[in-house]
Amino acid sequence: MFAHESNLPLPWHRPDAFSAASMKLGSFFSELKRRNVYKVAVGYAVVGWLLIQVATQVFPFFEIPNWAVRLVVLLIVVGFPIALVVAWAFELTPGGIKRTEEADRVYPGRSRGRAWIYVVISAGLLSAGLFFLGRYTAPNENKIGNVPAKSIAVLPFENLSRDPDNAYFAEGIQDEILTRLAKVADLKVISHTSTQRYKSSPDNLPQIAKELGVANILEGSVQKSQDQVRVNVQLINAATDAHLWADSFDRKLIDIFAVESEIATKVADTLQAKLTGEEQHAISMQPTQNTEAYQLYLKGRYFWNKRTGPDLQKAIDYFKQAIEKDPSYALAYVGLGDSYILLSGFGAARPQDSFPLAEAAAKKALQIDDNLAEAHTTLGFSLCVHHLDFASSIREFALNPNYATAHHWFGDGPLLAVGQFDRAVAEGKRALDLDPLSVIITADLGADYLVARRYNEAIEQFHKAIDLDPRFYYAHWNLAEALELKGNMRGALAEYKKAVELDDDPFVLALLGQAYAKLGQRDEALKILAQLPQIGAHRYVPSYSYALLHMALGEKDKAIEWLERSYQEGAGLDVIFLKVDPMLDPLQKEPRFQALVAKVFAEKY
């Protein structure tokens, strides 16, 4: 039986069965065509794509939530098979919508118009236009006006603790959340120094957002009682005052790092920022296991941000205590290095004394965490001003895209020193974009313009710095230099006098003296020259100060002699700009000066 059955041809092997199946399949496709199912499928696909393009390109402009875009896509996908079933079962006739069988009986041989072709072509062209518009305007598609949609300022957190001394803790929470967010390249995060001048929970959020150049504001409050902490946060769209996200966290003090990480992650997710694996790791990192060390670190940063000599010394003490509590606390070493590197700028130490300490602290931080961009920044700047190793300094700067100090010191240090003016200005602008209310960054962008001989832009920038802080003597004497180099000696003299009134920095006094000499008031210049050694008996007077005065008095040899002394003393902040400093242009052709420049810029090994 089995042998007999095996000799019978299988149904699909029989020619007549195959022919019948082919005919049925062919008639099925013909029926699909007759019933306009093909037309509906093509038309639906094109119109559906158009609707998706409208949703993805237009919805964000009106700040429609992303779930609405996802809903549109889902409905289009679900509707596709429904549209095909409807196309099979029904027909549009002059008498309205009827079942296909009835339409065939009532309107036999009816003409099927070609209007659908024009509809499909028009929809296709429109959707393609929207697609390419979105594709080639991608860099600006996430902007509201001129402000990136993925931009945020973290305002000072309100201290709700009964103890006012806990203000440092509230500020520290704010700073840590900001620091974690700053590690996300897809976000624009405003620096701490620009947000600190605003109070907690302000009423004029749109104005603050406009001043800072952001679309979103994160504000909150902190209440600390013994080992318990409550943190309340809310993320607000500044333009619409809409609350994008809010939450409250009640945790033990030891869990505060997890809270900061959770807040930063939630903010990044709400703003739809794309995080790399490295950035996710950086946000979730716990810098120390020791809560005492963490609180000491926060106190150190609190005083570091005040930017005075005595406060920097207090910061150093707190950072040292934090390191004693946790010797593996890399950020505490960074704070220590950042404090030492600023000391000379506020007259609290000689640079040749403080820079080595800053470098040692930065290297220690990098031994603990070689990926710490803040430590690379401190070390990079120290290599520039202490070792005069410009190539290594440029290589060392590992720029965190949202770390304003890195862009500031990179542009105003090695790039400016070696004459890469366009890059230096670009870095200065990026730093200012991240920290728009920083007086020092505003002024130093003007210094970049000045060294690049773009005096009009320099003058404009120095005026902006003075508008931010009329008592900022640094901006006044830089403005005076720009006016002097433009030939406006009288205007320069007035600004030098203002700077001298605002601060007793002996370098500014020397600048005033050289201005007197250039105006022909030699006696006044000599009086100031005689004062400098007296001042130097009790505080540091840069040799560069003497050099400028002697040069203005026509004593070029003495000027070069003082610049050589500056080099021998290791006063890097003065000698790194020898090649580009416009104030030293009268010396550029002097052989001794050229020899000194060659020493400074000799390749380091």
Range with top average pLDDT, 272-276, 293-297, 473-477: 473-477
Say whether pLDDT at 464 is over 80.
yes
Looking at per-residue confidence, does 439 or 192 come out higher? 439
- pLDDT, one tens digit per residue, over 472-481 is 888 999 999 9
- pLDDT, one tens digit per residue, over 331-388 is 999 999 989 988 876 767 788 888 899 999 999 999 999 988 889 999 999 999 989 9
CA nearest neighbour of 450 among 473, 470, 472, 428: 428
DSSP state of 414: I
Say whether pLDDT at 42 is over 60.
yes
Position 18 scores a pLDDT of 43
Looking at per-residue confidence, does 65 or 233 come out higher? 233
For residue 350, give every residue at least 6 positions away whose Cβ sits within 8 Å of its Cβ, in sequence order, or none. Answer: 344, 540
Please state the φ and ψ torsions of residue 158, each to the nearest 5 degrees: -75, 135
- The Cα 181–Cα 224 span in angstroms is 23
- Give the HSE-up count for residue 592: Cα atoms under 13 Å, Cβ half-sphere: 12
Q: How confident is the model at residue 56 (pLDDT cuts 50, 70, 90)?
A: low
Tokens matching residue 264: 């930063």
Position 515 scores a pLDDT of 98
Position 355 scores a pLDDT of 86
**Length of the chain (residues):** 605
- pLDDT, one tens digit per residue, over 543-555 is 999 999 999 999 9
Mean pLDDT calculated for residue range 502-525: 95
* Residue % of the chain over a pLDDT of 70: 77
* Residue % of the chain over a pLDDT of 90: 41
Which pairs from 457-464 meet CB under 8 Å and 24+ separation?
Answer: 458/482, 459/483, 459/486
Mean pLDDT calculated for residue range 188-217: 84
Q: What angle do CA 553, 547, 453 make, to 5 degrees?
A: 90
Tokens matching residue 543: 């040799």
Mean pLDDT of the chain: 82
How does 543-580 read in b/e, with b if 16+ C-beta sit within 10 Å? Answer: bbbbbbbbbbbeebeebbbbbbebbebbbbbbbbbbbb
CA nearest neighbour of 331 among 231, 183, 441: 183
Mean pLDDT calculated for residue range 445-464: 97
Tokens matching residue 259: 């809270």
Place of tokens 């549109």: 72
- The Cα 529–Cα 550 span in angstroms is 9
CA nearest neighbour of 374 among 344, 342, 397: 397
Sign of torsion over alpha carbons 461, 306, 380, 350:
positive
How does 122-150 read in b/e, with b if 16+ C-beta sit within 10 Å? Answer: ebbebbeebbeeeeeeeeeebebeebbbb
Say whether pLDDT at 448 is over 80.
yes
* 90: three-class secondary structure by DSSP: strand
Range with top average pLDDT, 156-170, 458-472, 528-542: 458-472
What pTM was estimated for this model as a whole? Answer: 0.71
Residue 554 contacts residue 576 (beta carbons within 8 Å): no
Place of tokens 């209007």: 115
- pLDDT, one tens digit per residue, over 126-180 is 555 655 555 444 433 344 557 888 999 999 888 887 777 677 788 778 888 888 8
